[in-house]
Amino acid sequence: MPKQDKPAPDKHNEAPAHAHAKSADEVLQDFGVDPKNGLSRREAEQQLERYGPNKLRQARTRSAWWIFLDQFKSMVIIVLVIAGCIAFTFQHWAEGLAIAAVLLVNAGIGFFTEYKAIRSMEALRAMGGDTIRIRREGEEQELEVEFLVGGDIVIFEGGDLVPADIRLIESNNVRVNESALTGESLPVRKTVEAVEADAALAERTCMLYKGTTLTEGSGEGLVAGTGMHTELGRISALAETAEEESTPLQKRLDQLGRRLAWITLIVAAVVALVGLLAGQDPGRMIETAIALGVAAIPEGLPIVATLALARGMHLMARRSALINKLPAVETLGATKIIFTDKTGTLTENQMTLHRVNTFAGDFELDETSGTVQGEGGTENQLLRRILEVGVLCSNASLQDLDKDDIPDEEQGDPTETALLRSGLMFDLDRSRLLREKPEEKEIPFDPEEMMMATYHRSSQGLEIAVKGAPSRVLKACTHFVRDFDGNESSLDEEQRRQWNEQAEHLAEEGLRVLALADKTARSLEEEPYSELRFLGLIGLFDPPRQDVRQAIAECQSAGIRVVMVTGDQPATAAAIARQTGLVQNRQPRVLHGRELKDPADMIPEERQRIQETDVFARVSPEQKLNLVKLFQEERQTVAMTGDGVNDAPALKKADIGVAMGRRGTDAARQVADMVLQNDAFASIVAAVRQGRIIFSNIRKSVMFMLCTNVAEVMAVAAASAAGGFSHFPLPLLPLQILYLNVITDVFPAIALGMGEGEPNMMQREPRPQSEPVLTRGHWSAVAGWAVLLAGSVLGSLAIALYVLDFEPLQAVTVSFLTLGFSKLWFVYNLRNPDTSFFENDIIKNPYILGSIGLCSLLLLAAVFVPGLSDVLKTRIPDWSGWLLLLGMSLLPFVLGQLILMGRKRYAGK
């Protein structure tokens, strides 16, 4: 016993890394603690002062102010801010106010959408328990977990949340749910025996880790690590250091913004210089240069991108996917690889009895349909006896059965609850069965024996029901049931060997295999594990979700690789990979966590092997993070799904992190970009499609705005050059340019952003990560379309001046309206060349027609509404002017449709 008031040795930081490799007595000696007395009050106070409370560092919640500021981080937004500042500097108040209005509208939409999503995320976070029973100074007491310190003796029982990293010193059938920390789908049995120093986290059977839950049993342990010195704290720190990636859309829009910034400067300078050299008025040319600089930037782009993303966010919420940040919606559309968890994402997260093998014959059970394949079905007496033994030999229970025998709540080990549910198919309710055959004695599961037994009094005498590991149960059996009539035969060594092989085959199929046996005893003192009658093997599994196979097939047809990353056993993971169609017509390539190195230490062949692997099993949090980094280094857009604390670092590092809403931990949800409230993989596929649609729509909107904006620049630049020789007026006045860009451009662009997408969206390969919003082909198309539009504008101006003999302001009004209406008809030129005019997503988009009608009214208002026409300096054309502008505005549309028809015909050859 240590001397009172002597501080525990300074092992606090070392213990979590080494306690599992030392015996319980060695760890107690390291801390200088007597388990019968625990720490003294003074020792605990000194430890608390030295190491602080047993708390993790809290992640900072994004404040409303920072959410608002984040809306201004795009390069396009920065360029607009600069343009607005220049406009105000030169006292062009109308232009400056118009730009400011665009910025505020965009920021408002983005802010309120993200703010609502983040507050919804916070509402998902759950609070845990906050007290635990400990022993200090020889007395048991309740203590807030915040004040636990290294060296405390903790007393626990089933249902407790583990408050710190604890080295077991006493274990009574302790089983722990570690899925949030390790990914292990089934509760893990814990003992006091030390393990190897290099044992994986999931294999440290003498340790309890903070954040996990005791499912059954009781015991005592020594606190070996608290707060940030726990495994949970280490993962939390890893998540803090993981760099959050910008989304592909953010990167592409910033790239476009930088390009537009240079274009703006060059255009403004060149037009001003050309105009001055041509003899234009210097003041007028500086004013025009500013307006053209603004015209070169698609002011509506931020609003269009934000609204398209916000709409995608809304549509995904209706599909039970909660988006944290707007650009995350589009990121899934660019995803090349999805790292997915197994339990609960690909599977139902509910163990189910699937196979029963006996000497007389085999059976397959389908719990969903309630059917049994095999001789006699639910009337087979041997199968019924096997299920009866499984129901009797159990500590689990089903609560609040309804009229269809569907439980409202399940308590106990998932394997045992699966047997209870299967028993209901045979009308074997445990509570009713125990009234007929009351339990007289239980021999709990023993890790050494690897079996469990219960004694029951029945009309035939005293029955013993046994279940356990096949090899151990078979060793304890002397005879078996050889047919469905209950006839028995002796069990020899060759038969034992064959049944052990059969058990191994079932395990290779991903099943959890148990053997069941029984016997009649004379007294409660009779040895339960001798002279047993072997009944058969049962195989249980966590079945794949019904919609997963189709969802994975859809991903694969879309060029997206789905890779399983799990903490479960390799055999189980490989079986689920086959059953879900993750691999087809071959065995999955599986890599165990112990085979994974740090990417920095890998040779090219090893990196290639990793990229070809289908399943990663028994992986640690660092290894998940390294996998994400490795694939990102190969320029692949990576999505990662996860639910546990162990997934948090990788979720944060991935291009998009997807957390589970039902079974996900707070740590996973905090760093995720998207939370699946139904935990369904199919929701990810829906998000991929929506992301692709969003990018396609944004690309169309950018094309629309740039084609029309560049047309403005070309028309004004050409007129500026010609004006020096023939007094040719500018076809557009500065405020007319802004009116077109800010008013009439935005609505068609927004309508394009609301498109439903082409039907074959998920039959295309993902975009390369390096592909910009506009490729060289798109920029060439921008130039070509802009020439057509600019030509029609200049042509209408020249005809109005020299043929119809309009006065200058009236002629400029004709060219202004020509461009305005040209933009509206031009929207239909942006359809996919592979489609026909009447069968494409633009013609089917009802918002397009609405935007054309609205903008037509706005263009007419620019001419007919007093005050507005004065500001814009427009004049009402006569009937010949209206015919001219209508014909010239339709010219780019007609030529564009002929070009698209020609491209489709050429491509079909």
Give dist(CA 112, CA 102) in Å, integer: 16
Supply the DSSP symbol for 551.
H
Tokens at 109, concatenated: 């939409």
DSSP letters spanning 367-428: TTTTEEESTTGGG-HHHHHHHHHHHHS---EEES--TT---SEEES-HHHHHHHHHHHTTT-
Helix (H) or strand (E) holding 880: helix 879-907
Among candidate residues 165, 341, 518, 647, the one labeled active-site is 341
Tokens at 600, concatenated: 């920095």
Give dist(CA 869, CA 483) in Å, integer: 98
Choose among 224, 218, 217, 187: nearest CA to 202.
187
Residue 188 neighbours by CB under 8 Å, 6+ apart = 175, 176, 177, 178, 202, 205
Tokens at 584, concatenated: 């087809």
What are φ and ψ of residue 805, in 5° steps? 60, 45
Residue 271 neighbours by CB under 8 Å, 6+ apart = 285, 288, 289, 292, 713, 716, 717, 720
What are φ and ψ of residue 125, in 5° steps? -70, 130
Residue 899 neighbours by CB under 8 Å, 6+ apart = none
Give dist(CA 740, CA 798) in Å, integer: 21
Neighbours of 371 (CB within 10 A): 12
Choose among 882, 858, 893: nearest CA to 800.
882
Q: How far is CA 272 from CA 284, 409, 710, 738, 871, in A?
A: 9, 76, 16, 18, 23
Burial grade of 526 (CB within 10 A; 0-12, 13-18, 19 or more):
middle
Residue 873 neighbours by CB under 8 Å, 6+ apart = 733, 735, 736, 809, 812
What residue type is assigned to position 256 of the chain? Answer: L
492 belongs to the catalytic site: no
Q: Are 663 and 344 in contact (CB under 8 A)?
A: yes
Neighbours of 126 (CB within 10 A): 7
Tokens at 67, concatenated: 């959410």
SS (H, E, C) 50-74: HHCCCCCCCCCCCCHHHHHHHCCCC
What are φ and ψ of residue 524, in 5° steps? -70, -15
Neighbours of 493 (CB within 10 A): 8
Give dist(CA 718, CA 698) in Å, integer: 30
Helix (H) or strand (E) holding 541: strand 532-541
DSSP letters spanning 2-16: PPTTPPPPS-TTTHH
Give dist(CA 244, CA 114) in Å, integer: 17
CA angle 580, 585, 586 (to 5 degrees): 90
Give dist(CA 333, CA 894) in Å, integer: 33
Q: How far is CA 161 from CA 38, 44, 125, 584, in A?
A: 21, 21, 16, 41
Active site residues: 341
